[in-house]
Amino acid sequence: MSQSTLLLIEVGALLLALGLLSRFANRIGISAIPLFLLAGLAFGHGGALPLSASEEFFETGSEIGVILLLLMLGLEYTAGELVESLSRARISGLLDAALNALPGAAFALLLGWGPIAAIALAGVTWVSSSGVIAGVLRDLGRLGNRETPTILSVLVIEDLAMAFYLPVLAALALGADPAEGALALVIAVTAVVVILYVALRHGRMVSRLFSVAHRESLLLGVLGLTMLVAGLAQQVNVSAAVGAFLVGIAISGQVAHSAEELLSPLRDVFAAIFFVFFGLATDPADIVPVLLPAAALAIVTIGTKVATGYLAAKRAGMGIPGRWRSGFTLTPRGEFSIVIAGLAVSAGVEPQLAPLATAYVLLTVVAGPLLARVPDATWFRAAVRRRGDAIRAASRAG
């Protein structure tokens, strides 16, 4: 059998399997991400049926997947919304970073992995999965809820923070000295400021490059601009994913809406390839020793993320049910956690970081959508009501 024939068979069989897994995940009401990671583990190094001919294809596809994930996320926000979120929820964003990044950093240091791995694991535990959370809000019919803008504000701040975090992590992981790390940060800040300025002041000009009346030119144009900016961003040591995110922000109005519709199927295909490739690159045998540490880390940081959402919603004036919904909804980690771990491992920081991150993301992505349903459960609402009655009674007695 020729190499090209084997490539077609492997890619076709795996994509078919991913389609069936996605349908199964939808049936049982969970995200398909953990199933895609498990599929990668099954067909990767040390798996039941390792793929050989298609590994390079999936590696390239995974890079495109990250770019499309972040482009689509950027298309959901305008530059004005981004600035408004920063001003409205900056305290909640700082609280989010402190509560969720510090446990990851401390955990890495306790394992003896060193300061660079600590910075990487801090990012893994810090950032929630915008893709999974958007799906949860849609599936549970909460897009119009009063607490949803608070949830989205926290996610926007996290995503924007990655524009500064990822270049610095890349510089440190590659062994750059402090001066090079500072230069990477300056370049990142400059790139973000320039793109935000263009989006705020000249966003309509960027959008005029494309026509919503011609679907083919819109699809090719937005995709081409995204790949171009992502490549240029990577050339100056700013993450290609962050470059794609900022392109999405710069495109606005009907162009953004139409591009989102056209690119969604393409995003879904390459995002699935991205999660599969991360699993392909991880030996399942490496996960066993880190499974218990990953579970402990997941329990701690699920608790801290619930506290983040609860306190953010409280600051925004939400009632107690909305506070709990905010907290539980924010718990899944996903795409950025995998990106951070992959970046650190590819730079040779700590080999065990990849299996730990895989297990951690699996646990939080499975638990998150289930926990998000808890505030709507009858027993939970009754418990919250009793708690509220007790507090009011104690207040009157005092």
Tell me if 263 is assigned to some domain. yes
Question: What is the per-residue pLDDT for 155?
Answer: 84
User: pLDDT band for position 224 (50/70/90)?
Assistant: very high
230 is a domain residue: yes
Answer with the residue of higher pLDDT: 198 or 5. Answer: 5
Query: CA 270 → CA 67, 124, 277, 367, distances in Å?
Result: 9, 21, 10, 24
How high is the mean pLDDT of the chain? Answer: 82
Burial grade of 319 (CB within 10 A; 0-12, 13-18, 19 or more): middle
CATH number at residue 157: 1.20.1530.20
Mean pLDDT computed over 364-381: 86
Query: pLDDT tens-digit profile of 160-189?
Result: 787 778 777 877 776 666 676 677 667 767
Kindly state whether residue 397 falls inside one of the protein's structural domains.
Answer: no
268-293 pLDDT per residue, tens:
888 788 778 777 777 778 788 889 99
pLDDT above 90 coverage of the chain, percent: 18
List the one residue out of 217, 214, 195, 193 whose CA is nearest residue 206: 195
Mean pLDDT to the nearest integer, 374-383 = 86
How far is Cα 128 from Cα 154, in angstroms, rounded to an integer? 9
List, for residues 29-47, the tens digit of each pLDDT value.
Answer: 776 777 887 888 887 766 6
Asked if the model's pLDDT at residue 98 lies above 70, the reply is yes
Residue 266 within any structural domain of the chain: yes
Considering only CA atoms, which of 338, 341, 318, 342 is closest in space to residue 329?
A: 318
Task: Give the integer Cα–Cα distance in Å for 266 and 42.
Answer: 24
pLDDT at 304 over 80: yes
- pLDDT at residue 189, as a whole number: 73
Asked if the model's pLDDT at residue 324 lies above 80, the reply is yes
Residue 5 lies in a domain: no
Q: Does residue 320 lie in a domain region?
A: yes
Residue 166 within a domain: yes
Q: How far is the CA of 5 from the CAs of 2, 16, 309, in angstroms?
A: 5, 16, 50
* Tokens encoding 25: 């995940």
Tell me what pLDDT residue 53 has: 63
- The runs of H, that is alpha helices, within 113-239 are 115-126, 130-139, 148-173, 178-207, 215-235
Please determine, for residue 1, whether its predicted confidence score (pLDDT) is greater than 70. no
Q: What is the number of structural domains in the chain?
A: 1
Please indicate whether residue 263 or residue 296 has the higher confidence score (pLDDT). Answer: 296
Q: What is the pLDDT of residue 249?
A: 79
Total-model pTM: 0.76
Over residues 296-317, the mean pLDDT reads: 94
Determine, yes or no, domain membership for 7. no
SS3 6: helix
Domain boundaries, position 110? 12-21+29-392
